[in-house]
Structure 1
Amino acid sequence: MASVRVAILTVSDTASKDVTADKSGPVIKAILSQHGCECKYLNIVPDDEERIRETVRAWCAEGTIDLVITTGGTGFGVRDSTPEAISSLIERPAPGLVHLILAYSLKQTPFAALSRPVAGTIGQSLVITLPGSVKAVKENLEALLTDGLLTHAIDLIRGGSGKEVHARLGSTGLEEVGTSHGHPEHDHHRHIHKHSHHSHGQDHGHAIPKSRTTEPLSQDPSVNVTSRQRVSPYPLVTVKDALISILQEVGPLPPVEVLVTPKLRGCVLAEDIHATFDIPTTFTSNVDGYALRASTPPGVYPVITTPLATLPEGRVLYRINTGAPLPLGADAVIMVEDTRVHSTHIDSSGRMEEKDIEMLAQVDVGENVRKPGSDVKQGELVLEKGMLISSAGGEIGTLAFVGKTTVKVYSKPVVALLSTGNELRDLHAIEPNRNDIIWDTNRPSLQAALEGMGYEVVDLGIVPDDLDAHLTALRKGLESADIIITTGGTSMGTGDLLKPAIERHLNGTIHFGRVSVKPGKPTTFATVPTTGRPTERTPIFALPGNPASALVTFHVFVVPALRRLTGLTGEKCHLPRVRVQVQDSMPLDPRPEYHRVVVMSEPDGLKAYSTGGQRSSRVSSLAGANGLVALPPLKEGGPSKVHAGDYPEAVLLGEVQLKL
């Protein structure tokens, strides 16, 4: 079996402030590494239920982690919340593993009865919570690693048959009772069957959308109007589960090797970057001044201003600039500020130059001198795989600093963009003077956002409410782009043809067709098999037609997919979230809502100002908006609004403004 990829999370208020206090995390890593596991993450979070949940959720959503082990926070302490954080994410519990851990630990101490372990799968990852003590961690891992139990479990989760283990058990006359080993598809079908009959009502639990293997749920456009669906057949999923589904289905584009130029901004490194030589390679000056022997006392000395490799014998100064190599024989540099001109002369070009300089101070050996390798040593890691090359210039500068002329980065996705609807007109179409035209707002606004982020856009135009026209446009997008974004045609009208086109004609999979969010309930995410493209499946986002809904759902759902295609992982795929003090009261809705705001930096912190009416068709509510305040759903017996002065979280869409 391929190496087990592990993520380790230490849960501790103390260790989150002082990493040296984390003893259990490194022990887990060392033990698992001895058993051939590859540790991809070793992180620390405080005893905060949401931080624990979001970290583990992001790891599992990557699709590259086989085993997640947490340590700490499993007892009855006031701050112990790891079991609660993980339990809400578990899709398939593993009570047998929990029993094994407790039984093994109880042999060592009765206090093990106070531990509350949790185990089970989240997506394709096995998650196990361990106590925080080093002793307990060692004991629990000893139990889990006995006879290859852990690797066998992961092999089954990956879809393996476990034949080797079965053969070994058979040879010893043992039988496994009540398992479906050798037929892993049985459990898979039971899971999908259960999910397919999940309530279509309001959000509850964490029913993460799965790929469907049954008949299409979308309406058949060819049937009589009286036979068409009146209510959406797609389950209403939570925002969190929708995002998990997206990051499970979307992977990075293949790496390419490109020249190191400023055009790399927005790309993600597909390789670690190590220095291939010491920087600086020789002793160099840290200041503008004069290179000399440190034994030279204060006084007046001749100055050499022409380039030389070796400092002559005797007391002489050599003029040097910052970063220049010291000549052999020099072991210190005196700053210009610690000297003054004593005499001058006219050089061969007719310019006045320094002849003698008076030293006003004594310098020590090595003063104002950079040693070889003092900036970067040969072989040192300077940039990590997965790092975003930002427009701030630091990453490009680092690549140039270590002499990297070419670099491997993940390809940036090409985005195909189209609008749907007979009623829409292109803004630049030749039309008579009419005031009843509905101009296509979504394509221009989304194209501006995409190109502002550095993505190439293929404009597929406006598609009428005709199935053949939809298929023609979508096929063109599948041939020319890595991701398709459409707006309109996602609801239950007779002209809403995107879901049927994807499911019934393009052999696509609808991963979710409705989200419990305001605005953007009809938001749809699908993938379509492709050949001859960089990836096996092309993601399609069908966003609502209302302009504000389209832009909000673009930032919430599409941007994480774009960033994932670009090579980012986990939490890096999402736009940053910050606490802001809202300056206006904001009413709550039964659905979670993203309220458009202007976030401004003021002397006493970040403040958010509502852009006014939030109706989904009111695109002017996004003019000037650089943030989305994430409002919780209205709950029975709870508050009816977020009050002015409260501090909810906001998703940042752009640069924070400074209030003057």
Structure 2
Amino acid sequence: MAIRVGVLTISETASADASKDKSGPTIRDILTTQGFECTKYAVVPDDEGKVRSTVLGWCTEGEADWVITTGGTGFGVRDRTPEAISPLLERHAPGLVHLMLSRSLTHTPLAALARPVAGTIGAALVTTLPGSVKAVKENLAALLEGGVVQHAVELVRGGSGRAVHSELARAGTSAFAGEGHHHHHRHHRHHDHTPPVPRSVLSHDPTLPASARHRESPFPIIPLSDALKLVMENITPLGTFQAKVNPALKGHVLAEDVYATQNVPSTYTTSVDGYALRSTDPPGVYPVLTSSTHPYTAPLPPNTLYRINTGGPLPPGADAVIMVEDTRLVSTADTEEKEEKEVETLVSVPTGENVRAPGSDVREGERVLARGTVVKSGGGEVGTLAFVGREQVEVYKKSKVAILSTGNEIVDIQSTRRQGQGDSSEWGGIWDTNRPSLQAALEGMGYEVVDLGIVSDDIPAHKAAISRGLASADILLTTGGTSMGPTDLLKPVVEREFGGTIHFGRVAVKPGKPTTFATIEDGGRRKPVFALPGNPASALVCFYVFVVPALRRLGGWEAGRCHLPRVKVQIQSPMRLDPRPEFHRVVIKSAVDEGQGRLKAYSTGGQRSSRMSSLSGANGLVALPAGQGEMKEGEWVEAIFVLTLTQTSAA
């Protein structure tokens, strides 16, 4: 099987004009002539996030056995390729680095300034080459000589390496000093079966000593837009079911187009309270018939009126309806009910007056609701379904959400632990704010919540809680345990205990940088896991930004409509900008100034991520752009509405 290669050029110039890339095509030409298959090729600027996401994507897609980067390995200010790639490497390959450097140093002492890295990510080999064509040729020659790369790739794939050794033996070449023909590779796995593994394992191993822990997060900080895109790409709607048409339908999304099975109304009906009559009958006194004295299916006798209420069908022969206001009571029947006996019509009415024709509201076969329609709590959609006679309809399932908090220091506000606390100044616990606030928001939106409680900072407790969440819910929502502390176990447990994939572990957003999104395969379905920051304001803000779109997508919402609505607002106080995009908690109010309506945003005060009160009363999040300085009072900026979401089950 040919070795599949991905070539990534890292260059500001070439990313703006791909024709300027000389090194990438050189690598592809050399490898193609050597029998390699170039399956991936891209050009990106000197951006650590883009380099990381591209390389990691190629390595985990399973379409490249060897990923080669070119450019960004020197001492230039923008040369950041080693910094981008090193945190991704699961096993470093210093020998390959030494091989490339030693070959280049035979040509120029300036090679000492190169900073290549090499190693493995999953089942792929990764090497970083310099950006010049000359240096690329030198490094490739060193890697290809003696079958070094071929042997490395076969081992990374899980092979024994015997084929390469046999070839070397036939050629009389010993490229691997000290190995000879009696070398045996002891890979501790069976080569006929590869167990499922996550796309990569970047998190720390909690069982290692402190000296082996990460000193900086191995998870790249990715842009907010990329994070939101990853959420949408890795979540698919739940299944569908037949639901009864009743008020409980609110919040669901229709999984079918709904058509009228008959005309509505099905026959001629009245749009007012009055009397059905022949339009040729002039004003005068007429006897009155009712549904109790005359079936509406029987023809209307000449020179009579038929008492009819709004929406009622006209009897055959009647072609108009006169309103009650245009009549006068003449006499009543000599009965206990004293119903009308004779009525005088005061005006003439034309044909069709106050009459609805069959199909005038909805025609048979007409689509009344489209697939993807959200059944809102306002009643319009439920009413439409009932209007056309639907007893049940196919809808997408709504997510059941499991929530938990992590941390030995966290205490449930309803816990008996608060009894007998003694001197409160000696108590170091923290009330769990996140679970109650998230549960209130979720249930306000109509979602069923499974409360998994507070999970202590140990691996068995995390593993048990996540297992319960996967068994009982469609999505798992955790808070805390996502940072760099030794007891931050969420990422390691997801990756190492459940074989989950962490799609991102840090986001360039304020608040909420450590927000984590992962998926775990469970029973043939990929279930999303969101690990939100522990600080309560951060947790709730990130819930609206990341989790609500995911819940909507799971529930069958169209991808383009999953995010909360944005509106233009005028800020009423200065707002300082941050290098990261920031969501500033505000109260949005409508106002009329100089005859024009506008929305004004009032800050809720201090925006510290731990300050939960900044969300009390807030109905919006001003989306401040990344930058320096501040937005001035009176400037216009986009804001996300959140209040309408919590007031209705499907905003």
Do Structure 1 and Structure 2 share a fold, with TM-score over 0.5? Answer: yes
Question: Which residue of 2 is the match for residue 341 of structure 1?
Answer: 329
Distance verdict in 2 for CA 1:457–1:193, change over 3 Å: farther
1:593 aligns with 2:572: no
1:387 aligns with 2:379: no
Matched ranges for 1:37-436 at <5 A? 186=63, 215-305=200-290, 306=292, 307-308=294-295, 309-347=297-335, 350-430=336-416, 431=418, 432-433=420-421, 434-435=424-425, 436=427
Distance 1:93 1:361 in 2: 81
* Structure 1 ranges of 4+ moved more than 3 A: 91-95, 184-194, 196-201, 210-215
Question: Which residue of 1 is the match for residue 533 of structure 2?
Answer: 544
- How far does residue 296 in structure 1 lie from its aligned partner after superposition? 0.7
Distance 1:321 1:199 in 2: 79
Distance verdict in 2 for CA 1:615–1:530, change over 3 Å: same
- How far does residue 312 in structure 1 lie from its aligned partner after superposition? 3.6
CA RMSD of aligned residues (A): 2.8
> For residues 62-90 of structure 1, what are the alpha-carbon distances to aligned partners after superposition, in whole Å with 9 as ceiling and x for unaligned?
xxxxxxxxxxxxxxxxxxxxxxxxxxxxx
- How far does residue 352 in structure 1 lie from its aligned partner after superposition? 2.2
1:617 aligned to which of 604, 607, 610: 610
Distance 2:600 2:565 in 1: 16
Q: Which amino acid aligns with 1:226?
A: S
Gaps of 5+ in 2: 1-14, 20-40, 43-60, 72-79, 86-121, 124-196, 647-651
Distance 1:452 1:409 in 2: 20
Distance verdict in 2 for CA 1:446–1:93, change over 3 Å: farther
Gaps of 5+ in 1: 1-90, 96-119, 122-183, 202-209
> For residues 175-216 of structure 1, what are the alpha-carbon distances to aligned partners after superposition, in whole Å with 9 as ceiling and x for unaligned?
xxxxxxxxx96469759999x969759xxxxxxxx9996541
Give yes or no for contact 1:304–1:317 (8 Å, CA) kept in 2: yes
Question: Which residue of 1 is the match for residue 158 of structure 2?
Answer: none
Matched ranges for 1:522-537 at <5 A? 522-531=514-523, 536-537=525-526
Matched ranges for 1:484-523 at <5 A? 484-523=476-515
Distance 1:529 1:520 in 2: 26
Question: Which residue of 2 is the match for residue 633 of structure 1?
Answer: 626
Local SS of the residue matching 1:352: coil
Distance 1:200 1:363 in 2: 83
Q: Which amino acid aligns with 1:602?
A: A
Q: Which amino acid aligns with 2:475?
A: I
Matched residues, percent identical?
A: 56
Distance verdict in 2 for CA 1:466–1:605, change over 3 Å: same
Give yes or no for contact 1:250–1:539 (8 Å, CA) kept in 2: yes
Distance 1:352 1:463 in 2: 74
Comparing 408-417 with 647-656, greater Cα deviation is found at 647-656
Distance 2:613 2:65 in 1: 47
Distance 1:606 1:423 in 2: 41
Local SS of the residue matching 2:643: coil
- How far does residue 353 in structure 1 lie from its aligned partner after superposition? 2.0
Give yes or no for contact 1:200–1:236 (8 Å, CA) kept in 2: no
> For residues 225-256 of structure 1, what are the alpha-carbon distances to aligned partners after superposition, in whole Å with 9 as ceiling and x for unaligned?
01110111111111111111001100100001
Distance verdict in 2 for CA 1:605–1:200, change over 3 Å: farther
Distance verdict in 2 for CA 1:242–1:620, change over 3 Å: same
Give yes or no for contact 1:284–1:325 (8 Å, CA) kept in 2: yes
- How far does residue 580 in structure 1 lie from its aligned partner after superposition? 1.2
Q: Which amino acid aligns with 1:224?
A: P
Give yes or no for contact 2:258–2:367 (8 Å, CA) kept in 1: yes
Distance verdict in 2 for CA 1:454–1:584, change over 3 Å: same
> For residues 561-615 of structure 1, what are the alpha-carbon distances to aligned partners after superposition, in whole Å with 9 as ceiling and x for unaligned?
0000000012211111111111111110110000001111223322111110000
Give yes or no for contact 1:310–1:327 (8 Å, CA) kept in 2: yes
Q: Which amino acid aligns with 2:623?
A: A
Question: Which residue of 1 is the match for residue 430 of structure 2?
Answer: 438
1:645 aligns with 2:634: yes
Question: Which residue of 2 is the match for residue 554 of structure 1?
Answer: 543
Local SS of the residue matching 1:460: strand
- How far does residue 505 in structure 1 lie from its aligned partner after superposition? 1.2
> For residues 92-139 of structure 1, what are the alpha-carbon distances to aligned partners after superposition, in whole Å with 9 as ceiling and x for unaligned?
9999xxxxxxxxxxxxxxxxxxxxxxxx99xxxxxxxxxxxxxxxxxx
Distance 2:18 2:281 in 1: 76
- How far does residue 314 in structure 1 lie from its aligned partner after superposition? 1.8
Q: Which amino acid aligns with 1:471?
A: K
Give yes or no for contact 2:300–2:315 (8 Å, CA) kept in 1: no
Q: Give the TM-score normalised by structure 1.
A: 0.67
How many aligned residue pairs are there?
463
Distance 2:434 2:563 in 1: 22
Local SS of the residue matching 2:328: strand
Distance 2:275 2:200 in 1: 81
Local SS of the residue matching 1:655: helix
Q: Which amino acid aligns with 1:424?
A: I
> For residues 513-563 of structure 1, what are the alpha-carbon distances to aligned partners after superposition, in whole Å with 9 as ceiling and x for unaligned?
0000000000000000111xxx61110000000000000000000000000
Local SS of the residue matching 1:415: strand
Distance verdict in 2 for CA 1:192–1:385, change over 3 Å: farther
- How far does residue 294 in structure 1 lie from its aligned partner after superposition? 0.8
Question: Which residue of 2 is the match for residue 51 of structure 1?
Answer: none
Give yes or no for contact 1:311–1:318 (8 Å, CA) kept in 2: no
- How far does residue 645 in structure 1 lie from its aligned partner after superposition? 1.2
Distance 1:192 1:388 in 2: 46
Local SS of the residue matching 2:339: strand
Distance verdict in 2 for CA 1:472–1:563, change over 3 Å: same
